[in-house]
């Protein structure tokens, strides 16, 4: 069941076409990711769905309701974590959650929220004394105050260290286990592969591909890379028989027929199999294939 339907939305900022006839659906209970380089239109698309921006044209339905006519009802069903959020410095974590809880008729119990985001021990700590990861968990808790059915996360782990990022990943997984729908934008390929059931890849305001990470990589039919240690063979022998590149002090051969290439490689160079590693196509390879850019361009 589609809980979010985005139909042909367009948004211009003066001469800039930020969102260009974007359409996609998000299914109930899935984690759906929007990927794209800087300026691709991800945040603008998210803000239109969240009713923070108005589209110039197109329609958005959430739980079957049009955001133009049922904004009040929809806002009770969603939770939003913004790309950047300012918090009062001289307010404790508990007080911050209590403040936001007063905005809703049936908020989640504050102690429950603290448990959800693993901030029980920081309940009496001023927000200005929280680490970056702790602040992000608090901001995520604020997005969950109304126990939303749908949670929007705009680059939830940007700037966090690896451990803090994984803490956020665990919370997203918990939300999915609770049956909530999560829509997120991210600049991290490993995050998208780890968390997202399906992705929409955006570039220049348009959706260029949609599907699960595994499906998209498979459909693109990208080549597999054979990585060879430089010390394992003479480059002159390699040059006579194969086309290759050098990366990180190693040789790289790309092929669509790995078995034949391996057989030919071993036959021509007499290389030991232990000196060869196989690198399957990644989400980053797919992204560059579709957009010609890295994720942070």
Over the stretch 217-247, which tens digit does the pLDDT of each residue have? 888 888 998 898 877 777 777 777 677 888 7
Q: CA dist 84 to 161, 226, 270, Å?
A: 17, 41, 56
Token pair recorded at residue 113: 């929220």
Nearest to 185, CA basis, from 281, 56, 41: 41
Separation of alpha carbons 253 and 53, rounded Å: 47
With left for phi above 0 and alpha for psi between -120 and 50, is residue 41 left, alpha or beta?
left
- Per-residue confidence (pLDDT) for residue 295, from 0 to 100: 64
CB 151 within 8 A of CB 143: yes
pTM reported for the whole predicted model:
0.86
Tell me what percent of the residues of the chain surpass a pLDDT of 90: 56
Query: How far apart are alpha carbons 176 and 182 in whole angstroms?
Result: 7
How does pLDDT run across 147-196, given as a tens digit for each residue? 999 999 998 988 888 888 898 999 999 999 999 999 999 888 889 989 99
For 42, 50, 97, the CA distances from 144, given in Å and listed in that order, are 22, 15, 10
Topology of the domain comprising 2-218: Rossmann fold (3.40.50)
The tens digit of pLDDT for each residue in 110-122 reads 999 999 999 999 9
Give SS3 for 237.
helix
Give the domain ranges of the chain.
Answer: 2-218, 223-280
The pLDDT value given to residue 87 = 84
Give the β-pairing of 2-13 and 16-27. antiparallel
């Amino acid at each position: 069941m589609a809980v979010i339907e985005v139909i042909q939305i367009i948004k211009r900022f003066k001469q800039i076409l930020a969102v260009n006839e974007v359409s996609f659906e998000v299914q109930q209970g899935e984690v759906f990711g929007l990927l794209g380089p800087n300026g691709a239109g991800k945040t603008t698309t998210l803000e239109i769905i969240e009713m923070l921006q108005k589209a110039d044209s197109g329609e958005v339905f959430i739980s079957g309701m049009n955001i133009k006519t049922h904004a009040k009802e929809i806002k009770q069903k969603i939770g939003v974590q913004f790309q950047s959020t300012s918090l009062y410095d001289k307010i404790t974590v508990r007080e911050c959650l209590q403040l936001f809880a007063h905005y809703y008729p049936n908020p989640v119990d504050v102690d429950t929220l603290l448990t959800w985001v693993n901030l029980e021990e920081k309940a009496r700590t001023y927000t200005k004394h929280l680490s970056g990861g702790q602040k992000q968990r608090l901001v995520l808790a604020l997005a969950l105050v109304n126990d939303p059915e749908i949670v929007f996360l705009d680059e939830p782990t940007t700037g966090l260290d690896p451990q803090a990022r994984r803490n956020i990943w665990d919370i997203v997984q918990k939300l999915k286990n609770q049956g909530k729908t999560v829509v997120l934008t991210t600049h991290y390929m490993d995050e998208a592969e780890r968390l997202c059931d399906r992705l929409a890849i955006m570039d220049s305001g348009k959706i260029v591909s949609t599907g699960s990470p595994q499906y998209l990589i498979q459909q693109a039919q990208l080549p597999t890379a054979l990585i060879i240690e430089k010390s394992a063979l003479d480059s002159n022998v390699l040059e006579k028989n194969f086309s290759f590149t050098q990366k990180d002090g190693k040789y790289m051969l790309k092929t669509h027929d790995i078995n034949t290439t391996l057989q030919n490689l071993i036959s021509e160079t007499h290389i030991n199999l232990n000196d060869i590693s196989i690198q399957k196509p990644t989400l980053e390879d797919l992204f560059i294939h579709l957009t010609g850019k890295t994720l942070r361009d």
